[in-house]
Amino acid sequence: MTVPELRIGDLVARVPIVQGGMGVRISLSSLAAAVASEGGIGTISSIGLGALEEGGQEYERMSREALREEIRRAQEMTDGILAVNFMGAVRNVENLVRTAVDAGIQMIVFGAGLPMRLPEIVPDPSVNLVPIVSSARAADLILRAWTKRYGRIASAFVLEGPLAGGHLGFSREELQRPEDFALDKLLLDLLETLRPYQDRSGSEIPVIAGGGVYDGKDVARMLRLGASGVQMATRFVCTWECDASMAFKQAYLDAREDDIVIIKSPVGLPGRAIRNRFLEEIEKVDRAKVYCPYHCLTACKVSEAKFCIAEALLNAWRGDVDHGLVFCGQNAHRIDKILSVKELMAELVGELEAALVEEP
């Protein structure tokens, strides 16, 4: 059986695997271009690209310039499909989205907040708008608002389940009830919710399911359940092309299952990360005085924060993991070697092909 293509609007990916956006600076042009060249969709993260210490408008200008440069580099490396990931909680997100569209990006992936006004920022219907949701209810709210205000529907949804890396769209309490929020269950709910919108518009709304998808067998399971593709991030960290430092990748290789923990991010959301010296130090303090040169995240509660998340993520990216926050998905502990993106994609596609011919 051949591997089904992933179609989003006019875009056709030969392999139904989207490499999820990873901030800060973990998925930039190198990783995204490598995945796109192997037939998947490569996602550049737009988060935290400026020099934090500059602050204010200068930080925003640098972020836009750096994003433009990452997109240009990726486009130079590949003819494959590139997306850019945005977080609703980022202060200058609207200008970043405009920058990406201006640079020729055809797929805008938007998470951490409901993108109610996104069609207003990107009126061109040929640019694919792909919100990230963690529930059918969120998708319904977006679609209801978009159809009413703009006569537009989403080009696809990324459905992110509770085993994902980075910030999570679930409360701590929900994360302790995995049976109620399993990705399989969320997927069936979402597909059901999308049906009337698809019937009314006559267009398909593909669902890309992610969070804990680890191998080709997992991909096959998601496709069988009705997903059109999967989003994977953790597996792509341990590739030579991933834009993170070697120390960041080594933290994944060294992690054991019980090192993977849920933290409270200053953004107010839970996040998944690898327990390390940084997290141990943070646990010891009640309150820390956080110096905030630039309020990069609108949702960040600086007065209550124990650390600056932008700085902690930058330290980890750079390789100073003892002072850094190493975000990861629940399955990071299963990775034991670094591969090239070509090798990883070939492994995943081989496993997927084998799983598709087996009985479910």
Ligand X SMILES: Cc1cc2nc3c(=O)[nH]c(=O)nc-3n(C[C@H](O)[C@H](O)[C@H](O)COP(=O)(O)O)c2cc1C
Supply the minimum distance, in Å, between the C-beta of residue 300 and ligand X.
14
Q: Which of 275, 280, 285 has its CA nearest to residue 255?
A: 275
Supply the minimum distance, in Å, between the C-beta of residue 21 and ligand X.
5
Letter for the amino acid at 37?
S
Supply the minimum distance, in Å, between the C-beta of residue 319 and ligand X.
14
Between residues 1 and 257, which has the closer beta carbon with respect to ligand X? 257
Supply the minimum distance, in Å, between the C-beta of residue 156 and ligand X.
14
Supply the minimum distance, in Å, between the C-beta of residue 88 and ligand X.
10
Taking residue 323's Cβ as centre, other Cβ atoms within 10 Å add up to 16
Supply the minimum distance, in Å, between the C-beta of residue 330 and ligand X.
6
Between residues 59 and 252, which has the closer beta carbon with respect to ligand X? 252
Supply the minimum distance, in Å, between the C-beta of residue 198 and ligand X.
23
Between residues 198 and 351, which has the closer beta carbon with respect to ligand X? 351
CA atoms within 13 A on the CB side of 319: 4
Tell me how far apart the alpha carbons of residues 97 and 22 are, in angstroms, rounded to a whole number.
Answer: 16
Binding site for ligand X (CB under 6 A): 20-23, 26, 45, 47, 85, 87, 111, 132, 160, 163-166, 210-213, 231-234, 327-329, 331
Between residues 121 and 230, which has the closer beta carbon with respect to ligand X? 230
Between residues 125 and 257, which has the closer beta carbon with respect to ligand X? 257
Between residues 106 and 234, which has the closer beta carbon with respect to ligand X? 234
Q: Is the dihedral of CA 327, 329, 330, 334 positive or negative?
A: negative
Between residues 117 and 198, which has the closer beta carbon with respect to ligand X? 117
